[in-house]
Amino acid sequence: MKTITSHPPPIALTIAGSDPSGGAGIQSDLMTFASLGIHGLSAISCTTAQVPGSVIDINPVSPDHLTAQIDLLLDTYPVAAIKTGMLFKASLLKTVLACLERNDCPAPLIVDPVMNASSGDALLEESAIDFFRDSFLARASLFTPNIDEASILLDGIDVTAANLDQCAVDLYSRYTVPVLLKGGHLDTADAIDVLVTEKGLQHFRAPFVKGVAPHGTGCAYSAAITACIANGYSLEQSVSRAKQYITAAIANCQHWEDGRQTLNHQVAPGLTPDCDTQS
């Protein structure tokens, strides 16, 4: 039998919680990575009992166990990009930072500031928020808050369509880290996201998909950005391509008989042209 050889795919690592329904968290991240040609590694921060719309239990792993996972993966694989999702406790946030420093890890870090589930359940302890804001974000290459998370990070400011740009600029000014403020929860004709970096401000827009609200869009969007960065694209290109990915996954979401909706990771677009961008 002829042996087929090929170059191995790039590698990305997700450090996040497990969603047994497959709609968000580690499971969604790995599906996104695979759809975009990335070999996915995962370090589980928490196990949960959840389905779309309901989180009934969260069980954080010990810092030692999370350390063992991350250290082993970083020692074994050439990780090209990393994303974090739900970390839940300050001790786990500190563990991630310590692991990256100890392993002298140069990989870009994409931080999805998972603070609350779409059901409203808290996914980051109140006692961890200050450390997240004051220390964890400083290590990020990009963080990707939705409007509710941005409000928390801006001390309660109400983020609206009218002040979306200014809030994105304020986040960048406050945390001095590139930020992608996601406007998908706003009632607008287009789903508009605002990227602010040292180069300035850019808009990424796609038609708002009405009538659907699948679970885990934030997880998949940040995972898609991470995958594109691992594939060698610039930050701006990665956001643009990830925007295409998440728009297609939402538009073609799977509908279950009980009314729940799940992202469809089988419809990843070719990602040849970039999405609409506007300086």
Percent of the chain with pLDDT over 90: 66
Q: Which two tokens stand for residue 177?
A: 């880290």
Confidence of residue 166 (pLDDT cuts 50, 70, 90): very high
Whether residue 279 is predicted with pLDDT greater than 60 in this model: the reply is no
Contact 153, 134 (CB under 8 A): no
**Least confident residue range of 114-123, 156-165, 175-184, 185-194:** 114-123
Cβ atoms within 10 Å of 128's Cβ, excluding its own: 19
Q: What is the pLDDT of residue 52?
A: 78
pLDDT digit string, tens, across residues 134-150: 999 999 999 999 999 99
Cα gap 86→64, rounded to integer Å? 17
pLDDT of the residue at 278: 46
Structural domains present in the chain: 11-278 (3.40.1190.20)
Check: CB of residue 195 under 8 Å from CB of residue 201: yes
Buried b / exposed e along 105-116 (16+ C-beta atoms within 10 A): bebbbbbbbbbe
Per-residue pLDDT band for 274 (boundaries 50, 70, 90) equals very low
Rg of the chain over all Cα atoms, to the nearest angstrom: 18
Give per-residue pLDDT as tens, 108-128: 999 999 887 665 667 788 888
pLDDT surpassing 90 at residue 29:
yes
Give the model's pLDDT for residue 119: 57
**pLDDT tier at 273, thresholds 50, 70, 90:** very low
The CB-side HSE value for 231 (13 A sphere, CA atoms) comes to 20
Q: Average pLDDT in the 89-118 region?
A: 93
Write 60-66 long-range contacts (CB < 8 A, 24+). Answer: 60/88, 60/89, 60/92, 61/92, 63/91, 63/92, 63/94, 63/95, 66/15, 66/92, 66/95, 66/96, 66/99
Q: Is 239 exposed, middle or buried (0-12, 13-18, 19+ CB in 10 A)?
A: buried
Using a pLDDT cut of 70, give the percent of the chain over it: 91
Whether the pTM exceeds 0.75: the reply is: yes
Specify the higher pLDDT residue, 201 or 118.
201
DSSP, collapsed to helix, strand or coil, labels residue 63 as helix
